Amino acid sequence: MFEVSFDLLALLVAAAFAAGFIDAIAGGGGLVTVPALLLAGADPVTALATNKVQGLFGAGSAALSYARGGHVKLQRQIGPALVAFAASMCGALLVSIVPTDLIRLVLPIVLVAIALFFALRKGLDDADSHARLTPVVFAASIVPLCGLYDGLLGPGAGSFYMLGFVTLAGYGILKATAHTKLLNFASNLGGLAVFAVVATPWWFVGLAMAAAQVVGAQCGAALAQRIGARLIKPLLVATSCLLAAKLLWEMI
């Protein structure tokens, strides 16, 4: 039934739980699950496609948890989520057309810059600040850019959403995290809609990992809501730096 042996499945499920926990707090869950899928024998395209299967459940579960906690009104995010979904589909369709080598070269620098911003910028906490963009402009500009990137490549998409919400929408750290999750869910779903046609995800493995993702996401979101920016900021910095290091390692 499953595409891998049960011992490998157990490891993948454990990786999915850890990824769901991390992703619900600061994003970057793919740092755990994509390498785990590759080690389990998936080719790169299958690994990315399967990661979309399990990742969207974790993001959706975290979004519901933050909504129950009163940190986000999901009904108000339906429009931006549809934009993220469509943009991610476009990005996934462009994978074989757009040369991504240049993006991969620049991406580690951008991720380190994001890490430094959140590590060194004073005054970043759970309090809202001045918004530089209206919600409509934000949904029409930043959301499709992040969604397009998520479908095209994916690593660090949560960090880009977070950066946009904090610097341009004026959200506090916890509120920004909460608002990122539904958009992550939508862009994962958009990418998966294309990957399901052009690739062959490990569906049964992906769904087993999804169950663990949901549990991990619930634990992570609960902890983030209890501790807030004091937990989210250092974990966001760490995941951004680790992702940058991973991308640099792959270029060597």
Q: Could you read off the pLDDT of 16-47 as tens digits, one per residue?
A: 999 999 989 988 788 788 888 988 888 888 88
| Region of residue 123 (left: phi > 0; alpha: psi -120 to 50; beta: else) | left
Cα–Cα distances in Å, from 11 out to 8, 16, 30, 165, 209? 5, 9, 15, 34, 10
- Per the listing, tokens 């270029």 go with 251
pLDDT digits (tens, 9 = 90+) for 105-126: 777 888 888 888 888 887 778 9
- Identify the burial level of 217 via C-beta atoms within 10 angstroms of its C-beta, where 0-12 means exposed, 13-18 middle and 19 or more buried: buried
Provide the sign of the torsion angle of the four alpha carbons 193, 197, 198, 199, taken in this order: positive
Helix axis angle for 203-227 and 173-198, nearest 10°, is: 170
Q: Give the span between the Cα atoms of 130 and 61, in whole angstroms.
A: 29
- What is the distance between the alpha carbons of residues 125 and 174, in angstroms, rounded to a whole number? 8
> Can you tell me the mean pLDDT for 207-218?
96
Rounded Cα distance between 232 and 225, Å, is 10
Instruction: Tell me the one-letter amino acid at 42.
Output: A
Q: Average pLDDT, stretch 193-207? A: 89
Residue 157 has pLDDT above 90, yes or no: no
pTM (two decimals): 0.88
pLDDT score of 1: 67
Per-residue pLDDT tens for 58-107?
999 999 999 999 999 999 999 999 999 999 999 988 876 776 676 677 77
Dist CA 226 CA 66 (whole Å)? 11
Residues listed for the chain:
252
Higher-pLDDT residue of 224, 200: 224
- Mean pLDDT of all residues in 139-148: 95
Percent of the chain with pLDDT over 90: 51
Kindly tell me the sign of the dihedral angle through the C-alpha atoms of 186, 188, 189, 193. Answer: positive
